């Protein structure tokens, strides 16, 4: 019989519960987002977040069990995010669980859950980029010792650990379909020195009055920059600055570890640019009013954006995406990893996905993303990670506590 784990995630602004069988079959996944509550503050307010988790946790867990057609007595273990995250939020989930999971490790399992759905197997070692509103981290990921020697019966019969396919994914030693169930070990390569990439999206969206969270709207509007060009009408602004006045971002310079990131400079450049160009104020005010009326979709905001703002958004996104992709590919090349795993809310970004796919393909590297739903915080990834801990006998002692600054490496 399968091992069924209830996962609970409450590290930040999503209250989530999910049931996953054998670390890879998602039986249910429920996410209650607090976006509507934090929106008016332009970011997550910790005190409000923990109160909302308290309100949501019981109905969300009930819903996850109901959707899986199970009751508590059918559950073998409860995996829960121990950290990193907001202490008050983490504590709400921690009251439920007996298998502590690192949230970041969960994001890596999200990639494997998705790969399993697609019947693919990411070859390890890999370089993993975790990129969200709270994190921008780069790790070298290997299977825990022992995991990679397990061949699937199919491959044992074939008498070879290598397949003949030409892609690097297939050239790598194939590991049994559930290598993630044995867990991973991590080496930290770098991380952001200031803002996380998602935070930069959210802050720039705030400066431009594009709503919260900023990522999804900027993602969609950026694609309209060249498509619309000067043809956009009714943009609340008839002013058009000369092109040389457009804000362009050079590569982010980092002293020391070249796998570190920094996004606060890009955000500040947008701030100073807007200060130097009060011509944008009118359309920003128009969009602010539209947001207050509940017009938050990219399609609602597009007619309220001048071509210059769309160009600005597109340039901002290109700068962030290029930086993330360039540093991650360099890390893969230097470590010899032929696989890149990308996870976290910003992994949902279409430009990031396209840029990774096209640039990695030229280097013979395979890139894996979770679906959009598994990219942002969810509990299926926590249940999947808990399975590997459960198998290793790594369950909670009675003094288990939330760890706001928990690391994986």
Distance CA 219, CA 199 (A): 14
Strand 4-9 and strand 366-368: the pairing is: unpaired
3-class DSSP state for residue 319? helix
Residue closer to ligand ADP by CB (options 11, 178) is 11
Q: For residues 114 and 377, which CB has a smaller minimum distance to Mg ion in the complex?
A: 377
What's the min distance (Å) between Cβ of 6 and Mg ion?
20
CB of 56 to Mg ion, least distance (A): 13
182 or 210: CB nearest ligand ADP: 210
7's contact among Mg ion, ligand ADP, none, with CB below 5 to 8 A by partner kind, is none
Partner interacting with residue 202 (select from Mg ion, ligand ADP, none; CB below 5-8 Å by kind): ligand ADP
Q: Which is nearer to ligand ADP, 93 or 216 (CB)?
A: 216
| Contact with Mg ion (CB under 5 A) among 195, 199, 202, 377 | 377
Residue 212 Cβ vs ligand ADP, minimum distance, rounded to whole Å = 8
| Contact criterion met (CB below 8 Å) for 327 and 261 | yes
State which H helix or E strand residue 81 sits in: strand 77-83
Which one of Mg ion, ligand ADP, none interacts with residue 382, CB within 5 to 8 A by kind?
Answer: none
Nearest to 222 by CA among 296, 305, 279, 288: 305
Tell me which of Mg ion, ligand ADP, none is bound by residue 134, counting a contact when its beta carbon lies within the kind-specific cut-off of 5 to 8 angstroms.
ligand ADP
Nearer to ligand ADP, 100 or 133 (CB): 133
Q: Which candidate, 314, 322, 316, 330, places its Cα nearest to that of 356?
A: 322
Structure tokens at 89: 């939020």
User: Considering the complex, what minimum distance in angstroms separates the CB of residue 202 from ligand ADP?
Assistant: 5
Per the CB < 8 A criterion, the answer to whether 2 and 383 are in contact is no
Residues that bind ligand ADP (CB under 6 A): 12-14, 132-134, 198, 201-202, 213-216, 219, 344-346, 348-349, 376-377
What is the distance between the alpha carbons of residues 390 and 52, in angstroms, rounded to a whole number? 29
Q: Which stretch binds Mg ion (CB under 5 A): 23-31, 35-43, 282-290, 377-385?
A: 377-385
Contact 375, 381 (CB under 8 A): no
Cα four-point dihedral sign 404, 134, 274, 38: negative
| Residues 279, 281, 286: CA angle, nearest 5 degrees | 125
The residue (of 172 and 375) whose beta carbon lies closer to Mg ion is: 375
Query: Would you tell me which residues interact with Mg ion (CB under 5 A)?
Result: 12-14, 377
């Amino acid at each position: 019989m399968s091992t069924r784990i209830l996962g609970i995630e409450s590290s930040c602004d999503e209250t989530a519960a999910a049931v996953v069988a054998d670390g890879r079959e998602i039986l249910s996944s429920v996410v209650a987002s607090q976006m509507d509550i934090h929106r008016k503050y332009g970011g997550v307010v910790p005190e409000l977040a923990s109160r909302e988790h308290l309100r949501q946790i019981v109905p969300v867990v009930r819903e996850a069990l109901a959707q899986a057609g199970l009751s508590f007595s059918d559950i073998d273990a409860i995996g829960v995010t121990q950290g990193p995250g907001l202490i008050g939020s983490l504590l709400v989930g921690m009251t439920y669980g007996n298998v502590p999971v690192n949230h970041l490790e969960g994001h890596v399992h999200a990639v494997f859950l998705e790969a399993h759905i697609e019947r693919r197997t990411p070859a390890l070692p890999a370089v993993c980029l975790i990129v969200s509103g709270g994190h921008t981290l780069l790790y070298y990921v290997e299977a825990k010792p022992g995991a990679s020697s397990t061949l699937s019966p199919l491959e044992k019969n074939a008498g070879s650990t290598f397949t003949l396919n030409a892609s690097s994914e297939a050239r790598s030693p194939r590991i049994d379909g559930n290598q993630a169930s044995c867990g991973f070990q991590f080496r930290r390569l770098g991380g952001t020195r200031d803002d996380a990439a998602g935070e930069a999206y959210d802050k720039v969206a705030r400066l431009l009055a594009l709503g919260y969270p900023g990522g999804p709207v900027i993602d969609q509007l950026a694609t309209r920059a060249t498509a619309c060009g000067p043809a956009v009408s009714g943009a609340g602004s008839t002013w058009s600055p000369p092109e040389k006045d457009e804000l362009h971002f050079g590569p982010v310079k980092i002293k020391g570890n070249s796998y570190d990131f920094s996004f606060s400079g890009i955000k500040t450049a947008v701030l100073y640019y807007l200060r130097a160009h009060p011509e944008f104020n009118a359309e920003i005010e128009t969009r602010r009013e539209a947001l207050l009326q509940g017009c938050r979709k990219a399609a609602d905001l597009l007619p309220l954006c001048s071509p210059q703002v769309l160009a600005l958004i597109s340039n901002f996104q290109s700068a962030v995406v290029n930086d993330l992709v360039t540093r991650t590919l360099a890390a893969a090349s230097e470590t010899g990893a032929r696989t890149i795993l990308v996870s976290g809310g910003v992994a949902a970004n279409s430009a990031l996905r396209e840029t990774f796919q096209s640039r990695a393909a030229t280097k013979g590297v395979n890139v894996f993303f979770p679906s959009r739903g598994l990219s942002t915080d969810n509990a299926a990834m926590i249940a999947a990670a808990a399975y590997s801990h459960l198998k290793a006998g790594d369950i909670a002692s009675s003094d288990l506590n939330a760890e706001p600054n928990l690391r994986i490496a």
